[in-house]
């Protein structure tokens, strides 16, 4: 009886939350399926002179937390980009990106993050990391609710974007996004501004993803009022007020990452923007 009641309450509280134990339950290849090898919850993406490859979730999600453990291309990864990102469909799309920019052997990777809202991006930040991301798996996550977006590395926030719609700044909160991963050649821009090209004699390049966690509100594409279903009521853990801000330890870690590892911030790029984007005046 109490077990059933508990189950019933769980179903009421957590409709459509997907936990992934098997890659093929949630994801499917998007391009070059022959370059993707999956086994259970572990997949390897290959880039060679013929092609890169990519996968995507079959469903879209509005709010929640999505994570993957990723181990990036080892050795000479110059010219390659491994991406883990969330994106909605269509022209005026929303998107949250982790892009890992490869480098020559021994030189550090950069992590570029970006946020597209209603089709417009141009919100890049670049961080170096406090570890070599090609040696071991590390966890990269998106946390997203109607008030806050966080990009996390091993659960440490490296970027926070707050909802400032009240100040006329757009915020992505109405379009459900799919979860994507890919590996491709971007040697026209990725490494040292495009000066270092992919050395194809080191191909194939391999990046591995595993332990996907999707704790998010799943939406079918045919539902119009997405926000009605995914968080009107305070039904999800990510809608709890305390989720909108960093606790003291997380805040300290975030400040320390900003001080030590943030190498590029669009908000500081006066050569690029004659007028610094509005959201940049707010301190997170
Ligand atoms: C994953 O799912 C696929 C298709 O549903 C199935 O063939 C495969 O055996 C599953 N693998 C594991 C490790 O559960
Ligand atoms: C999104 O962009 C389109 C033009 O591309 C514009 O017409 C629309 O008002 C924008 N929506 C919001 C909410 O800013
Ligand atoms: C690659 O290494 C060089 C030299 O250490 C560094 O300047 C650059 O930021 C690194 N990352 C990329 C993606 O170019
Ligand atoms: C590419 O890698 C090969 C094998 O390591 C090396 O001999 C060659 O010099 C490299 N090419 C460039 C342009 O660095």
The pLDDT of residue 151 is 98
CB of 195 sitting under 6 A from ligand 4: no
Pocket residues: Cβ below 6 A from ligand 1: 22, 24-25, 40
**Residue 13 phi, psi (nearest 5):** -80, -35
- With a 6 Å cutoff on the Cβ, whether 270 touches ligand 4 is no
Distance separating alpha carbons of residues 92 and 185, to the nearest angstrom:
26
Q: Which of 92, 164, 172, 175 to mutate to test the pocket of ligand 2 (most atoms within 8 A of CB)?
A: 92
- Take atom 9 of ligand 3 and give the residue whose Cα is closest: 192
**CATH match of 14-282 with 2.60.120.200:** yes
Give yes or no for residue 134 having a pLDDT over 70: yes
CA–centroid distance, 199 to ligand 4, in Å, is 6
**% of residues, the chain, pLDDT over 90:** 77
Ligand whose nearest atom lies closest to the CA of 192: 3
- The model's confidence at residue 3, banded by pLDDT at 50, 70 and 90, is very low
Catalytic residue at 283? no
User: How far is it, in rounded angstroms, from Cα 107 to Cα 103?
Assistant: 6
228 is catalytic: no
Token reading at 140: 């990269």
Among protein residues, the one whose CA lies closest to atom 13 of ligand 1? 40
Q: What is the pLDDT of residue 7?
A: 40
Q: Is the CB of 101 under 6 A from ligand 3?
A: yes
| DSSP E strand boundaries for 117-204 | 125-127, 138-144, 148-153, 156-162, 178-185
Q: Is the pLDDT of residue 20 over 70?
A: no
User: What's residue 126's pLDDT?
Assistant: 98
pLDDT for residue 124 is more than 90: yes
Q: Is pLDDT larger for residue 219 or for residue 7? A: 219
Phi, psi angles (nearest 5°) of residue 226: -60, -45
Q: Whose CA is nearest to atom 3 of ligand 4?
A: 201
With the most atoms of ligand 4 within 8 angstroms of its CB, the residue from 75, 199, 202, 204 to mutate is 199
- Ligand 4 center–CA 282 separation, angstroms: 46
Q: Are 162 and 80 in contact (CB under 8 A)?
A: no
The pLDDT value recorded for residue 283 is: 74
CA quadruple 85, 92, 178, 226: dihedral sign: positive
User: Residue 11: what pLDDT?
Assistant: 41
If you ran DSSP here, which 8-state letter would residue 106 be given?
A: T
CA of 272 to the centre of ligand 3 (A): 20
5 to 1, 11, 14, 15, 226: CA distances (angstroms)? 6, 10, 14, 15, 28
Rounded CA separation 68/88 (Å) = 19
- Look over the chain and give the mean of its residue pLDDT values, rounded to a whole number: 90
Per-residue model confidence (pLDDT) at position 22: 81
Span 13-31, average pLDDT: 74
pLDDT digits (tens, 9 = 90+) for 62-119: 999 999 999 999 999 999 999 999 999 988 999 999 999 999 999 999 999 999 999 9
What are 225-235's pLDDT values in tens digits? 666 678 665 67
DSSP 122-139: ---EEE--SS-TTTS-EE
Query: What is the Cα–Cα distance from 95 to 176, expressed in whole angstroms?
Result: 10
């Amino acid at each position: 009886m109490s077990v059933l009641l508990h189950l019933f309450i769980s179903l009421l509280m957590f409709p459509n939350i997907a936990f992934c134990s098997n890659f093929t339950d949630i994801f499917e290849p998007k391009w070059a399926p022959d370059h993707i090898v999956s086994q259970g919850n572990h997949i390897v993406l290959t880039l060679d002179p013929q092609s890169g490859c990519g996968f995507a979730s079959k469903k879209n999600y509005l709010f929640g937390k999505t994570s993957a453990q990723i181990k990036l291309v080892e050795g000479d990864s110059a010219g390659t980009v491994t991406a883990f990102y969330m994106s909605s469909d269509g022209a005026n799309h929303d998107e949250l990106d982790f892009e890992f920019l490869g480098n020559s052997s021994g030189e550090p990777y950069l992590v570029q993050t970006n946020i597209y809202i209603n089709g417009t991006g141009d919100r890049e930040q670049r961080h170096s990391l406090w570890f070599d991301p090609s040696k071991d798996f590390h966890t990269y996550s998106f946390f997203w609710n109607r008030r806050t977006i966080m990009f996390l590395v091993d659960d440490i926030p490296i970027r926070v974007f707050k909802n400032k719609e009240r100040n006329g700044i757009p915020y992505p909160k109405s379009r459900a996004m799919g979860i994507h991963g890919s590996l491709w050649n971007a040697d026209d821009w990725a490494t040292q501004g495009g000066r270092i090209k992919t050395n194809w004699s080191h191909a194939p390049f391999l990046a591995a993803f595993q332990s996907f966690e999707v704790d998010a509100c799943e939406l079918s594409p045919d539902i119009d009022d997405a926000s009605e279903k995914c968080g009107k009521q305070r039904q999800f853990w990510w809608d709890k007020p305390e989720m909108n801000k960093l606790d003291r330890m997380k805040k300290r870690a975030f400040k320390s990452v900003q001080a030590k590892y943030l190498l590029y911030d669009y908000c500081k790029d006066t050569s690029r923007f004659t007028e610094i984007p509005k959201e940049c005046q707010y301190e997170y």
